Structure 1
Amino acid sequence: MPLTVKGPRKPTTRYLITALSVLLPILLGVVILYLQAERTLEQSTAQTAEEAVRQFDLMLDNTALAAQDLLPLAGKDCDRSVKLALREQVTRRPFVRATTLSWKRTIYCSSLFGGNYVSPVNPEDYVDGRLWLMKGNPVTPDTALLVYRLTDGDQGAFASIDGYHLTNALRLISRYAYLVLQVGPNWLGADGKVHQTAPPVFAVAHQRLDSKRYVYSVEAGMPEGEVWRYMEARYPALFSLVVFFGVLAGVFAHWLQKRSSAPTHELQRALGANEFVPYFQPVVRGDSLQWAGCEVLMRWNHPKEGLVRPDLFIPLAEHSGLIVPMTRALMRRTAACLAPHADRFTSGFHIGINITASHCHDMALVDDCREFLAAFTPGQVILVLELTERELIEPTDVTRQLFQALHELGVMIAIDDFGTGHSSLGYLRNFNVDYLKIDQSFVAMIGVDALSRHILDSIIELSAKLDLGIVAEGVETQEQCQYLAAQGVDFLQGYLFGRPEPFDAFIKSLHGH
C-alpha cells in the first residue's frame, strides 16, 4: 500500500510528482530514440564509406588497367600508333579521362594535347609514387583530377579520372552523409574543389575508411544537429507514442496518489469525528470460567459504510502513522466508558489494549497509560498492553526504557498471537513480558491436528518454565475449553464466552456475570 508515515502529500507535491511522471517517460523515450537514431546514422555512414571505397576502387581499377596496357609503349616515339593507343584507352576504359606516357621522369606524349607534350614529372607529388589528387591540368585548370601512375624503370604510364566522376560519387552515394576523398595531404569534397587544408571533422557519425588496395581514404559523417533532423523526419509517430505514454503515466500516477492519500484523509476525518469506538470481548479464568477482564478492540463506525472490519483499516492506520493517535483516543474513550462501572469489577480486572511498533518510538505511551489508569481507583483494573507482530519492535534503548517505565507504572505486557510471528522468541529474550496469548489457529486444531496440539503444549510448557501467564484466544467449543483448562491455561478468550460487543451490550453482559 503506497502510504508514508508523514500522511497525505500536499497538492503541490502531488502535482510535482504527476509532472515528473509525465516528463520522465517522455525524456526516457526521447533519449532512447536519440540513441537509436545515432546508431542508425553511424551504420548509415559506415555503409556509405564502404560503398564510396568500392566505387573509387572500381574507378581506379580501370585506370590501373589502362596504365598497365600503356606501360610497354613508354619510351617509344609519340607517333600515330602510340597516340591511337592512348586515345583507345580513354575511349574503352570507363571513368578514364586522359592517358599519358613518360620517359625518364618527363611526360612526352598525352591524349589531351594531340600527342606531343613535354612536362617534367615530380614523383614526390604522388602518394606512394602512385596517386595524385590534382586541382586541375592546363586544359581544365579548375577541374579536379585523380592521376594514377605506373612505372617500370624509366618507363611511366599515367591514367587520370575526371573530377566530375569523383564529385558525382561523393554527392550521389549517400542522401544524408557528407563524403570526402583524401589522397595524401589533399582532399576533395562534394563541391568539386581540391583542398590542402586539414579535412573536416564531422560532428555526427564520423567514419574513416582506408582502401585496402590503393593509397587513399574516405571520410564520411554528418553535421551537428543531424540526429535531431533525422528524428524529426523519421520518428514523428514514435514521438507521438512517447508523449501519449508519458501523459498516460502522469494520469496513472495522479490516480495512484489520489487513491493512496484518500483513505488516509478518511482516517484523519474519522479520528476527528470520534468514529473509532471500543468493542469489548470478555476474558475468563481457566479454572473457574469467571470473568477476569476484557480485551478492547477498535471498530470503525463509519457514517455511510456502517461498522468497518478492523482488518480493512488497522493495517492502513499502522502504515500511515495514525495508529498512535487512534489508540490514544480509544484508551480515553474506554476509560470514560468503563470508569463509572468499575465498582462492579472484580479486583484486578484486566483490560487489554493492542499496541504496535509505532507506539514504541518514544515515551509518550507511558503518559497515555498513566492517564488511563488515573480514571480508576488504584487496584481496580490492570492495564495489559498486547504487542502485535505486524511490525517488528526493535530492542533499542528507548524501547527498554519504555517497558521498564510501564512495569513501574503497574502495566503488564503480553505478546499477542504468540507462535505465529517471526519475532515472538526475540520478544521473550529482549523484553520483560508478563503474558503469552496463544494464537487461535493452534486452539482451533485441538482434537483435529496432532502437530498443532504438540506446538500448543510446548507453548504452555514454555510459559510455565518462564513463569509467564498464558491466555488462549479463539476458544469456541467445550472440548477446547476443557483441554486448555486441564493444561493449566490461566485465561481463556473466545466466542464460547462472548463475542466482541459495544459498550452497552458488554456492560449488560457484565452485570449478568
Structure 2
Amino acid sequence: MPLTVKATRTSKTRYLVTLVSGALPILLGVLILYWQAQRTLEQNTAQNAIEAVRQFDLMLDNTALAAKTLMPLAGSLCDNATKLALREQVTRRPFVRATTLSWQKNIYCSSLFGGSHVSPVNPDDYVDGRLWLMNGNPVTPDSALLVYRLTEGDRGVFASIDGYHLTNALRLISRYTELVLQVGPHWLRADGKVHSSATPVFPVAHYQLASSRYAYHVVAGMPQEEVWRYMEARYPPLFSLVVFFGVLAGLFAHWLQKRACAPTHELRRALAANEFIPYFQPVVRGDTHQWAGCEVLARWKHPKEGLVRPDLFIPLAEHSGLIVPMTRALMRETAAQLAPHAGSFIPGFHVGINISASHCHDLELVVDCQEFLAAFPPGQITLVLELTERELIVPTDITRQLFEALHRLGVMIAIDDFGTGHSSLGYLRNFNVDYLKIDQSFVAMIGADALSRHILDSIIELSGKLDLGIVAEGVETAEQCKYLATQGVDFLQGYLFARPMPADDFIKCLHDQ
C-alpha cells in the first residue's frame, strides 16, 4: 500500500511508472547475469592457468631430472657410451626431445648429432640462466623448443621440450580460454609460433600466473565477445525468468497504483480501528544479560497488507500530525497488555517509548505519562521516553517545562540513535537527559571499521563523563556483546538476545527469564 503525501498521479505518469517498474528488473537481471558470467569466466580462466602451470611444471620436472642424471657425464668424452646415455634419457623421460652436454660454454655432444656438431652457448639467452623459449633448432627450425639448462662450474647439461607438447597443453586445457606461455621476452601461443613482441592483454578475464619453481609464467584470458557467447549458451532459461519477473513487477506496480488511496485517510481509519499494536524488544544488562526492560515498537496490523514496518508509516504519521494520537494509543495498549503481568517485572523495569517533536508543543504528554504510570504499581516500572531526530525538537519555555514535569514524575529521557543526527549534542546541552542510545550502525562496525569504533568509544567515554546511562542498539554477535560489556556499556539491545515480538511472546519469554 503506498504511503506518501504526494498528489494522485496522472494516467500518463502511472503508465510510465509501470513501464519503468517492469524495465528495471529486466535491466538489473541482465546486468547481474553479465556480472555472474564474467565472474564464472574469471574463475575458469584462473583454473585453466593453474592447470597449465601444473602441466608445464610436470614437463620441466622431467627435463630437470634428465639433466641431473646426465650431469656426471658433462665434460667427459662424447663416446658411444655417452651418446647412448643421452639418447636413453630422451627415450625414458616423457616430453624430453633432446639432451646435450657442454663444456666451458660450448656444446660438444648431443643426443641428435653426437659429437659432430659443436656450437657456443650464450648464457644470456636463458632466463635466470635456466630456461630459453626458442623458435627451433637446425633439425626442426619452425618448431618451438623450451630448453632447460643445468650447470655446475664449466659443466652444463641441456634438455629440451618439443613445442608440440607445449602447444598441445595450451590448446587442450580449455576450448575457450586463450593461454600463452611466456619465458622472459619470448612467448608462445597455441598456434606454435614464438613471438618477441608485447604479451597480449585479454579484454575478458585476463589472468597471469607465475610458476613457483621455474622462471616462466602463463597468461590467460578471453576475447571480448566471450561473455555474451557464454550467456547465450548457458543462460536462456534465466533470461526468460528475468523477463517474466520484469513483467510481473510492472503488473504489480500498476495494480498498486490503481488501488492507491489517500494515505492520511488510511492512517486515520487504522487509528480508529486500533490497528497499531505494540511489539516489544528486550533490553538486557551489559554485565549479566538479565532482562532489564524493553523498547516498545509500533507495528501496523493492516487487514490486507499484514504487518507493516514502522519505517513505512511513522514518517507519514509525523508529517500528517497523527503521531501524537498514535503514540497515545500505543501507550494505552502497552499498559493494558503489560500491567496484568507487572508482578513478574524486576523493580524499576524500563519501558522505552519513542516520542518526536510533535509531542513537545504542549504539556499533554505529561498527562499521557501519568495515565501510563498509574496502570502499574508504584516503582514497578521506569518509563523512558526516547527522543528521535526525524523532526528537530526546538528548546522553548514549553519544552523546558515539559521535561521538568516529566522528570518530577520519574520519567527518564533518552536520546535515540545518538551520534547520527545533527542535533544530538544540542539535545544534551538543552535537555536534562538520562540515557544515550548508541546507533546500531556504530555497533555493527565493531571489529570491522576503526573509525566507527573510535566514535563508539568516544560516545561511551562521553556518557561516563556526563554520568549518563548508555544503551547499545543492534547487538547481533557475541564479539559485539563482549566488546561493549568490556567497555562498561550499561544495557544492550539487539537480535543476539531477542527480536521484537508481540506481547504474548514477550510475556512468555519474560516468565522464562
Shorter-chain TM band:
0.5 to 0.7
Match of 1:27 in 2: 27
Q: Is the partner of 1:116 in helix, strand or coil?
A: coil
CA deviations 1:50-78 (Å, max 9, x no partner) are: 11111000000110111111111112222
In structure 2, C-alpha distance between the alignment counterparts of 1:425 and 1:160, rounded to whole Å: 88
**What residue in structure 2 maps to residue 44 of structure 1?**
44
- Kindly indicate whether the alpha-carbon contact (under 8 Å) linking 1:34 and 1:231 is maintained by their aligned counterparts in 2: yes
Find the residue that maps to 2:102 and give its secondary structure: strand
Query: Contact conserved, 1:389 with 1:416, CA < 8 A, in 2?
Result: no
Structural mapping, 1:108-257, within 5 Å? 108-257=108-257
CA distance in 2, matches of 1:13, 1:148: 73
Amino acid at match of 1:10: T
Residue identity in the other structure for 1:92: R
Q: 1:132 to 1:426 in 2, by over 3 A?
A: closer
| Structure 2 counterpart of 1:351 | none
Equivalent residue number for residue 53 of structure 1: 53
> How far apart are 1:177 and its partner, in Å?
1.1
Shift of 1:311: 7.9
CA distance in 2, matches of 1:189, 1:389: 69
Listed one character per residue, the Cα deviations across residues 94-151 of structure 1 (whole Å, up to 9, x for unaligned) are 0001111111111111112244211111011011111000011111111000000111
Q: Distance in 1 between matches of 2:251 and 2:164?
A: 59
Conserved in 2, the CA contact under 8 Å of 1:105 and 1:122?
Answer: yes
Change (3 A) 1:418 1:88: closer
1:392 aligned onto 2:321? yes
Partner Cα separation in structure 1 for residue 79 and residue 328 of structure 2 = 116
The SS at the match of 1:224 is: coil
Distance 1:389 1:45 in 2: 55
What amino acid sits opposite 1:126 in the alignment? Y
- Counterparts of 1:420 and 1:196, CA distance in 2: 82
Report 1:268-347 matches (<5 A).
none
Three-state SS of the structure 2 residue aligned to 1:41 is: helix
- CA distance in structure 2 between the partners assigned to 1:130 and 1:186 by the alignment: 14
C-alpha distance in 1, partners of 2:217/2:105?
Answer: 27
CA distance in 1, matches of 2:327, 2:239: 58
Distance in 1 (alpha carbons) for counterparts of 2:3 and 2:207 = 53
Q: Which residue identity lines up with residue 391 of structure 1 in the other structure?
A: S
Given that 1:170 and 1:190 are in contact with CA atoms closer than 8 Å, whether structure 2 keeps it comes out as yes
Structure 1 segments of 4+ aligned residues over 6 angstroms from their partners: 310-314, 415-419, 421-425
CA apart distance, 1:26: 1.2
Assess, with a 3 A threshold, how the Cα gap between structure 1 residues 420 and 120 changes in structure 2: closer, same or farther: closer
Structure 1 residues 155, 18: closer, same or farther in 2, change over 3 A? same
Please give the alpha-carbon distance, in whole angstroms, between the structure 1 residues aligned to 2:209 and 2:248. Answer: 46
Contact 1:99 1:111 in 2 (8 A): yes
How far 1:418 sits from its partner (Å)? 13
Deviations 1:381-410 (CA, angstroms, capped at 9, x unpaired)? xxxxxxx9993189xxxxxxxxxxxxxxxx
Q: In 2, Cα distance between the equivalents of 1:87 and 1:42?
A: 43
State the Cα distance separating 1:2 from its structure 2 match: 1.8
- Give 1:73's aligned residue: 73
- Note if contact 2:148-2:158 (Cα within 8 Å) is conserved in structure 1: yes
Q: Deviations over 1:388-442 (max 9, x none)?
A: 9993189xxxxxxxxxxxxxxxxxxxx9999769899756569xxxxxxx9xxx9
Q: Counterpart of 1:117 in 2: which secondary structure?
A: coil
The amino acid that maps onto 2:201 is V
Q: Is the 8 A contact 2:101 2:107 kept in 1?
A: yes
- Give the whole-Å Cα distance in 1 for the aligned partners of 2:156 and 2:265: 100
Counterpart position of 2:2: 2
Asked if 1:102 is matched to 2:99, the reply is: no
Which amino acid in 1 is paired with 2:68? Answer: Q
Q: Deviations over 1:280-321 (max 9, x none)?
A: xxxxxxxxxxxxxxxxxxxxxxxxxxxxxx9889759xxxxx
Identity of aligned residues (%): 70
CA contact (8 A) 2:74 2:155 kept: yes
Q: Name the counterpart of 1:88.
A: 88
**Aligned equivalents of 1:172, 1:57: Cα separation in 2:** 16
CA shift in 2, pair 1:312/1:61, >3 Å = closer
Alignment deviations for residues 473-492 of structure 1 (CA, whole Å, 9 cap, x no partner) = xxxxxxxxxxxxxxxxxxxx
Distance 1:114 1:37 in 2: 54
Letter in 1 for 2:109: C
SS of equivalent to 1:139: coil
SS of corresponding position for 2:76: coil
Q: Secondary structure at the match of 2:156?
A: strand
1:213 to partner: Cα distance: 0.8
Residues 450-498 of structure 1: CA deviation (Å, up to 9, x unaligned) = 969xxxxxxxxxxxxxxxxxxxxxxxxxxxxxxxxxxxxxxxxxxxxxx
Q: Is the 1:145–1:162 contact (alpha carbons within 8 Å) kept by the matching residues of 2?
A: yes
Tell me the SS of whatever aligns to 1:59: helix
After TM superposition, the score normalised by the length of structure 2 is 0.53
Q: Is the 8 A contact 2:78 2:114 kept in 1?
A: no
What's the offset of the Cα at 1:8? 2.7
Q: Which has the larger radius of gyration?
A: 1
Q: Is the 8 A contact 2:133 2:145 kept in 1?
A: yes
Q: Which amino acid in the other structure matches residue 24 of structure 1?
A: L
Give me the whole-angstrom Cα distance separating, in 2, the residues matched to 1:416 and 1:162. 88
How much has 1:198 moved relative to structure 2?
1.1
Distance 1:426 1:131, change over 3 A: closer
Count of residue correspondences: 300
Shift of 1:212: 0.9
User: Distance between the aligned counterparts of 1:313 and 1:105, measured in 2?
Assistant: 94
Q: CA deviation at 1:175?
A: 2.1
Q: Which residue of 2 aligns with 1:403?
A: none
8 Å contact kept, 2:109–2:118: yes
Equivalent residue number for residue 487 of structure 2: none
Query: 1:259/1:150 Cα in 2 relative to 1: closer, same or farther (>3 Å)?
Result: same
Q: Aligned in 2, Cα 1:389/1:209: closer, same or farther, shift over 3 Å?
A: closer
Question: For 1:471-510, what aligned pairs fall within 5 Å after superposition?
Answer: none
CA RMSD in angstroms, aligned pairs only? 3.5
Whole-angstrom distance in 1 between the partners of 2:25 and 2:110: 68
Counterpart contact for 2:86–2:111, Cα < 8 Å: yes
**Deviation readout 1:221-253 (Å, 9 max, x if unpaired):** 111132222111111111111111111111111
Structure 1 spans left out of the alignment, 5+ residues: 265-309, 317-387, 395-414, 431-437, 443-449, 453-513
Distance 1:52 1:93 in 2: 20
- SS in structure 2 at match of 1:75: coil
